[in-house]
């Protein structure tokens, strides 16, 4: 089963993806993680995208589609979880085409529904907790960049809700509930497909 976790920054996509990996043996494909890896290893592409990421903007479709294509060919497991991808309608079309080429389908798009106030609190807390624990704080986890990430989400990514609704793949889960409750709702949703 291949699924997308869809929702704004801070909605809990990464947390829920990690649960699905350990509980179902699925493979998490996070374009955010892939881009951070490219940055950390200092590749030319990583250097090119660093400033865009820090400001909260979106990296070009061409770059993220290339990354996903590369990983899809290597990954093995009990289905894919797309986390933070697709983020534009162009990426959504490209993902459909890639899966079709591989003889695979997209089985479900789980929307984690939340509200903005919670997102800001969660992200500010994530940064504070990381700093207190002596862990690296993401350069884009600050108020200014977060504002841009939210605007980008509403402008470019939220249209995917309508897109996948039209494809009859969309399921919405209350992302404001506790982590275990959200995980339970996702499980119920996936088991019903």
Interatomic CA distance for residues 163 and 165, integer angstroms: 5
Tell the smallest beta-carbon distance from residue 99 to ligand ADP (Å): 16
Question: Catalytic annotation on 149?
Answer: yes
Give the containing element (helix H, strand E) for 56. none
Interatomic CA distance for residues 124 and 93, integer angstroms: 33
Interatomic CA distance for residues 79 and 97, integer angstroms: 17
Candidates 13, 36, 39, 171; catalytic one? 13
For ligand ADP, which residue has the nearest CB?
Answer: 32
Question: Catalytic annotation on 87?
Answer: yes
Candidates 126, 148, 156, 187; catalytic one? 126
- Residue number with CB closer to ligand ADP (65 or 191): 65
Question: Catalytic annotation on 171?
Answer: no
Q: Are strands 3-6 and 80-83 parallel, antiparallel or unpaired?
A: parallel
Candidates 138, 148, 156, 187; catalytic one? 138
- Residue number with CB closer to ligand ADP (40 or 193): 40
Binding site for ligand ADP (CB under 6 A): 9, 31-32, 35, 52-53, 56-59, 64, 84-85, 87, 91, 140, 149
Tell the smallest beta-carbon distance from residue 82 to ligand ADP (Å): 9
Tell the smallest beta-carbon distance from residue 95 to ligand ADP (Å): 10
H runs (alpha helix) in the chain: 13-24, 31-40, 44-55, 61-74, 89-101, 116-132, 143-152, 159-166, 179-191
Three-state DSSP at 145 gives: helix
Tell the smallest beta-carbon distance from residue 181 to ligand ADP (Å): 21
Question: Catalytic annotation on 126?
Answer: yes
Candidates 19, 36, 87, 171; catalytic one? 87
Interatomic CA distance for residues 59 and 21, integer angstroms: 26
- Residue number with CB closer to ligand ADP (42 or 103): 42
Contact (Cβ atoms closer than 8 angstroms) between residue 113 and residue 175: yes
So which residues are the catalytic ones?
A: 13, 87, 126, 138, 149
């Amino acid at each position: 089963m291949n699924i997308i976790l869809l929702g704004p920054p801070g909605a809990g996509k990464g947390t829920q993806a990690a649960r699905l990996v350990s509980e179902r043996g699925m493979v998490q494909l996070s374009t955010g993680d892939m881009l951070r890896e490219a940055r950390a290893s200092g590749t030319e592409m990583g250097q090119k995208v660093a400033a865009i990421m820090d400001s909260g903007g979106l990296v070009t479709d061409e770059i993220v589609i290339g990354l996903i294509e590369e990983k899809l060919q290597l990954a093995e497991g009990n289905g894919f979880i797309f986390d933070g991808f697709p983020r534009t309608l162009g990426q959504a079309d490209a993902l459909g085409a890639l899966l079709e080429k591989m003889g695979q389908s997209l089985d479900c798009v789980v929307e984690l529904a939340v509200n903005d106030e919670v997102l800001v609190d969660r992200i500010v807390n994530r940064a504070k907790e990381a700093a207190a624990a002596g862990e690296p704080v993401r350069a884009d986890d600050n108020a200014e960049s977060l504002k841009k990430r939210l605007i980008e989400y509403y402008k470019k990514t939220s249209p995917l809700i309508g897109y996948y609704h039209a494809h009859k793949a969309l399921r919405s889960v209350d992302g404001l509930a506790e982590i275990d409750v959200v995980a339970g709702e996702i499980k119920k949703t996936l088991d019903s497909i």
